[in-house]
């Protein structure tokens, strides 16, 4: 089976000579394998295409993909975004009384699948010619047509548990609650106080209790438009869980949250499922999309893996146990499906971290006890040193001064008291990324990019893949990769990266870890990494700087520790424990309250040995 996919954001027919049509062998013989559609862009016939690949090579903007797929996928199309558009095969299956996790690369259809299951998007089952007419009927409010389309979907899944689910959805006999991926859009559709929003959606009488558990009490009287990203994320989770639904769909719960807040959100979701079992309706199911493996490992009972080629096609696996599913995803080989999704497995070092002895001549920068005060907040720093060829991980709650520390070290803002001895040049990637009207290629041309940066930074981070786009059109992950690349391409001795993994999927995080580690080792530079993905910090860091204090009031650097001491201090404060997976040696978060979790806490060993 063969599919043809056109990346419409890359295709620029006004800037090319229609090479895809001009050089197609079938078109030259009079067969209309490629024609120009009404929008001026090519339309490729998958039935007529022979898969020679000439159009792929000749397209100056790399906008065409011709992909060969297994024949068993034929007829399993769930949804397709127009002719030559992205196609999704299969759907996950939420289980009553359980938490189902979804793991996969960005652009493989995870959000599409959740919107279908939540009843927001009616799938066209690959029949793109019917989509426009159906959309017109829906806009006209034709409920009978909409009901018949859902029944058609149910018949498509005949003989599976999804058939019953969609039949109930067609009869409006199932209630769903949905938390969207992009919470920053909430202020655009709702204005008012947080408390008013939660009371409006509170169908279970638990909204204020959830708000208390998520530490939202101080923002209940604030306007939605005045909330930060982390506050919006927690409000969205609280609003979703407060609805009286049979199925809860949460699309990414960790963006903008620090690790403490991520653990609390995971606990609240787990508690909501447990509490539902005590109620009359014990059939509540939760489905969560998440890229933070630590949270997914701790939260999910089963996992569906999405694989394929981003923005081209996605395939959904059958449910797997959490441990097995994550291990197979990291190994790159799905055993039951007999599919290899990655050339090389993601491997973990088996030995525990060791204390590293540093010499005085390796010091790049040092700082004494300094203070930074402004607007009622005070950051207090202990003395410390930064060494060559080391990666210093920085962890702590939001609003305790981590980003401020980086800015002080980088000379962006002076300390209120104390001294920083810094003669080294520093390159800073800030936490919040700005969008502006400029082609990515123009940014790259302005950088002093040598062969090393081209091979070790731009290519592995995938920047060349979106070099023809404008910065305004980049996805969150692409914008993050560009910001990291720009920072690393600046000549410096210290590279300070503030939340470099935000908006990245697991594959992108793995690439990021490899790039940063190789860059630090080959260049002999120091790196300061602030991040809330605990796996990334564990994989990258040589030492750990731990922040404490009261958010938005007082922040303090508890010290710079070796990895064992630092992680034990940090994990104890979090209330979670780590262990090694017996087969893959990857770090795992123990289920809270499990026998292993209790055992390690009793011994005071929160970090694996």
User: What is the residue-wise DSSP string for 174-225?
Assistant: S-EEEE-S-GGGHHHH--SBHHHHHHHH-SSS-HHHHHHHTT-GGGTTSBGG
What's the whole-number mean pLDDT along residues 149-169? 94
Contacts 24+ apart (CB under 8 A), 574-582: 574/259, 574/260, 574/263, 575/263, 576/263, 576/298, 576/606, 577/601, 577/605, 577/606, 577/607, 578/538, 578/606, 578/607, 578/608, 579/608, 580/350, 580/608, 581/323, 581/327
pLDDT at 277: 57
Q: Name which of 289, 248, 285 is nearest 109 in CA terms.
A: 289
How many other C-beta atoms lie within 10 A of the C-beta of residue 374?
Answer: 10
- pTM for the model stands at 0.87
Q: What is the pLDDT confidence band of residue 383, given thresholds at 50, 70 and 90?
A: confident
Task: Examine the pLDDT at 445 and tell me if it is beyond 80.
Answer: yes
What average pLDDT score do residues 138-145 get?
Answer: 64
What is the CA angle 475-89-72, rounded to 5?
140
Per-residue pLDDT at 134: 52
The C-alpha atoms of residue 244 and residue 175 are separated, in whole angstroms, by 8
β-bridge pairing 391-395 and 363-367: unpaired
pLDDT (0 to 100) of residue 355: 54
Q: Which residues pair with 313 in a beta bridge?
A: 87, 309
Residues 513-521, mean pLDDT to the nearest whole number: 93
Cα-Cα end-to-end distance for the chain: 49
**pLDDT tens digits along 2-11:** 999 999 988 9
Please check the confidence at residue 136 and state whether its pLDDT lies above 60.
Answer: no
14-28, 344-358, 408-422, 469-483: least confidently modelled range: 344-358
The mean pLDDT value of the chain amounts to: 89
Confidence at 333, pLDDT banded by 50, 70, 90: very high
Confidence of residue 140 (pLDDT cuts 50, 70, 90): very low
Which of these, 419, 458, 460, 422, lies nearest to 440 by C-alpha position?
458
Average pLDDT over residues 351-361: 58
CA distances from 508 to 291, 479, 480 (A): 10, 12, 10
What's the angle, vertex CA 575, arms to CA 503 and CA 104, rounded to 5? 30
The answer, yes or no, to whether residue 485 has pLDDT greater than 80, is yes
Torsion angles phi and psi, residue 415, rounded to 5: -70, 150
Residue 418 has pLDDT above 80, yes or no: no
Query: What are phi and psi for residue 580, nearest 5 degrees?
Result: -95, 140
Per the model's pLDDT, the better-predicted residue between 114 and 382 turns out to be 114
Residue 499 has pLDDT above 60, yes or no: yes
* % of the chain at pLDDT higher than 90: 58
Q: Is pLDDT above 50 for 488?
A: yes
E-state strands within 81-183: 87-89, 99-104, 176-179
The DSSP-derived string for 588-608 is: EEPPTTSHHHHHHHHHT--S-
pLDDT at 584: 76
Q: How far apart are CA 119 and CA 602, in angstroms?
A: 46
The share of the chain scoring above pLDDT 70, in percent, equals 94
Whether pLDDT at 351 is above 60: no
Query: How many other CB atoms are found less than 10 A from the CB of residue 180?
Result: 20
| Strand pairing category for 377-380 and 494-498 | unpaired
pLDDT score at 276? 61
pLDDT category at 384 given cuts 50, 70, 90 is confident
- Supply the pLDDT for residue 139: 46
Strands 99-104 and 302-309: parallel
Identify the pLDDT of residue 216: 93
Of the two residues 416 and 368, the one the predictor is more confident about is 416
27 pLDDT above the threshold of 90: yes
Q: What is the pLDDT of residues 253-265, one digit of tens each?
A: 998 898 889 999 9
* Average confidence (pLDDT) over 289-312: 93
């Amino acid at each position: 089976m063969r599919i043809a996919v056109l990346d419409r954001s890359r295709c620029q027919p006004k800037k090319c000579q229609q090479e895809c049509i001009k050089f197609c062998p079938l078109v030259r013989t009079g067969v209309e394998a490629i024609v120009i559609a009404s929008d001026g862009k090519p339309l490729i016939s998958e039935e007529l295409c022979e898969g020679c690949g000439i159009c792929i090579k000749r397209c100056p903007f790399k906008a065409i993909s011709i992909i060969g797929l297994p024949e068993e996928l034929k007829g399993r199309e769930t949804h397709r975004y127009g002719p030559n558009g992205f196609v999704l095969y299969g759907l996950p299956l939420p289980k009553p009384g359980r938490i189902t996790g979804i793991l996969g690369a960005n652009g493989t259809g995870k959000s599409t699948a959740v919107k279908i299951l939540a009843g927001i998007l009616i799938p066209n089952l690959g029949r793109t010619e019917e989509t426009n007419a159906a959309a017109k009927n829906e806009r006209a409010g034709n409920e009978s047509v909409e009901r018949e389309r859902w029944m058609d979907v149910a018949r498509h899944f005949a003989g599976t548990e999804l058939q019953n689910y969609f039949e109930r959805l067609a009869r409006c006999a199932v209630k769903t609650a949905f938390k969207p991926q992009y919470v920053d859009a909430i202020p655009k559709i709702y204005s008012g106080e947080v408390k008013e929003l939660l009371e409006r959606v509170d169908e279970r009488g638990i909204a204020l209790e959830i708000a208390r558990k998520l530490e939202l009490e101080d923002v209940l009287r604030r306007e939605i438009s005045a909330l930060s990203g982390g506050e919006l994320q927690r409000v969205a989770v609280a609003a979703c869980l407060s609805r009286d639904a049979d199925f809860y769909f949460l699309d990414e719960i960790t963006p903008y949250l620090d690790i403490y807040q991520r653990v609390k959100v995971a606990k609240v979701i787990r508690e909501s499922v447990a509490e539902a079992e005590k109620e009359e309706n014990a059939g509540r199911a939760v489905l969560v999309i998440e890229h933070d493996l630590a949270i997914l490992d701790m939260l999910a009972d089963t996992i569906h893996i999405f694989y394929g080629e981003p923005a081209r096609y996605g395939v959904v696996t059958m449910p797997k146990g959490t441990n097995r599913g994550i291990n197979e995803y990291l190994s790159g080989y799905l055993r039951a499906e007999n599919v290899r999704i990655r050339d090389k497995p993601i491997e973990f070092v088996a030995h525990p971290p060791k204390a590293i002895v540093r010499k005085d001549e390796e010091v790049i920068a040092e700082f004494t006890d300094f203070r930074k005060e402004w607007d009622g907040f005070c950051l207090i720093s202990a003395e410390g040193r930064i060494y060559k060829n080391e990666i210093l991980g920085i962890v702590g709650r939001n609003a305790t001064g981590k980003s401020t520390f980086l800015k002080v070290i980088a000379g962006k803002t002076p300390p209120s008291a104390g001294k920083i001895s810094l003669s080294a040049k520093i390159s800073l990637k800030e936490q919040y990324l700005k969008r502006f009207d400029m082609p990515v290629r123009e940014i790259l041309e302005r950088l002093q990019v040598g062969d090393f940066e081209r091979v070790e930074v731009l290519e592995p981070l995938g920047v060349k893949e979106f070099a023809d786009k404008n910065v305004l059109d980049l996805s969150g992950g692409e914008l993050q990769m560009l910001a990291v690349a720009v920072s690393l391409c600046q000549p410096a001795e210290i590279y300070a990266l503030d939340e470099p993994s935000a908006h990245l999927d697991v594959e992108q995080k793995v690439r990021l870890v490899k790039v940063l580690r190789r860059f630090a080792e080959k260049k002999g530079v120091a790196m300061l990494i602030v991040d809330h993905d605990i796996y990334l910090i564990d994989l990258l860091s040589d030492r750990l700087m731990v922040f404490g204090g009261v958010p938005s009031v007082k922040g303090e650097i508890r010290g710079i520790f070796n990895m064992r001491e630092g992680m034990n201090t940090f994990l104890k404060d979090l209330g979670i424990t780590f262990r090694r997976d017996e087969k893959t040696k990857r770090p795992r978060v123990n289920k809270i309250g499990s026998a292993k979790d209790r055992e390690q806490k009793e011994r005071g060993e929160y970090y694996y040995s």
